[in-house]
Amino acid sequence: MKDGFLRVASATPKIKVADCEYNTAAIIAQAGEAAENGASLVVFPELCITGYTCHDLFLQRSLLTAAENALREIMEATKKLEAVIIVGLPVADKGSLFNCAAVICKGKLLGLPAKKYIPNYSEFYEMRHFTPAKKTASKTIFGESVHYGQDMIFECIDMPEFRFGVEICEDLWTPEPPCGKLAKGGALIIANLSASDEVIGKADYRRMLVRSTSARLFSAYIYTSAGQGESTQDLVFSGHSMICENGAVLAESKRFTTGIIYADIDLQKLEYERRHANTFTDADDLYIERFSLPMKELVLDRYISKTPFVPANKANLDERCEEILTIQAAGLASRIEHTNVKTVVIGLSGGLDSTLALIVAVHAMDMSGRDRKDIIAVTMPCFGTTKRTKSNAEILAESYGVSFRDIDISKSVTQHFEDIGQELTNFDVTYENGQARERTQVLMDIANKTGGFVIGTGDLSELALGWATYNGDHMSMYAVNASIPKTLVRHLTSFEADHSEGQLKEALMDILDTPVSPELLPPKDGEISQKTEDLVGPYELHDFFLYYFVRFGFTAEKIFRMAKIAFAGEYNDDTIKKWLQVFIRRFFSQQFKRSCLPDGPKVGTVTLSPRGDWRMPSDASSAVFGL
In angstroms, the CA 573 to CA 520 distance is 32
> Which H/E stretch holds residue 30?
helix 20-36
In angstroms, the CA 389 to CA 528 distance is 9
Contact of 445 with 410, CB cutoff 8 Å: no
Asked if 115 is an active-site residue, the reply is yes
- Positions of E strands within 431-512: 452-456, 478-479
In angstroms, the CA 164 to CA 286 distance is 12
Candidate list 20, 100, 105, 169, residue with the active-site label: 169
Q: Coil, strand or helix: which one is 71?
A: helix
Q: Taking Cα atoms as reference points, which of 159, 185, 223, 219 lies closest to residue 6?
A: 159
In angstroms, the CA 136 to CA 152 distance is 7
Question: Which strands form 248-252's sheet, in the order they lie side by side?
Answer: 248-252, 242-245, 220-225, 189-194, 163-168, 152-156, 287-291
For 464-484, b/e burial (b = at least 16 CB within 10 A) is bbbbbbeebbbbbbbbbbbbb
Give the CA distances from residue 112 to residues 148, 160, 255, in Å, rounded to whole numbers and listed in that order: 4, 21, 28
**Residue 376: exposure state from Cβ atoms within 10 A (0-12, 13-18, ≥19):** buried
Candidate list 20, 46, 244, 496, residue with the active-site label: 46
Q: Taking Cα atoms as reference points, which of 581, 587, 537 lies closest to residue 560?
A: 581
Nearest-10 crossing angle of helices 352-368, 502-512: 140
Contact of 109 with 75, CB cutoff 8 Å: yes
> How many C-beta atoms surround the C-beta of residue 254 within 10 A?
11
Question: Which strands form 108-113's sheet, in the order they lie side by side?
Answer: 137-141, 144-149, 108-113, 96-105, 84-93, 41-43, 5-12, 259-266
Q: Coil, strand or helix: which one is 302?
A: coil
Contact of 192 with 221, CB cutoff 8 Å: yes
- Written in H, E and C, the secondary structure of 158-190 is CCCCCEEEEEEHHHHHCCCCHHHHHHHCCCCEE
Contact of 482 with 609, CB cutoff 8 Å: yes
Q: Which residues on neighbouring strands pair with residue 148, listed in sequence order?
A: 112, 137
Asked if 169 is an active-site residue, the reply is yes
In angstroms, the CA 388 to CA 351 distance is 10
Pairing of strands 96-105, 84-93: antiparallel
In angstroms, the CA 442 to CA 200 distance is 66
DSSP class of 126: G
Candidate list 115, 390, 486, 593, residue with the active-site label: 115
> How many C-beta atoms surround the C-beta of residue 150 within 10 A?
24
Contact of 66 with 189, CB cutoff 8 Å: no
Active site residues: 46, 115, 169
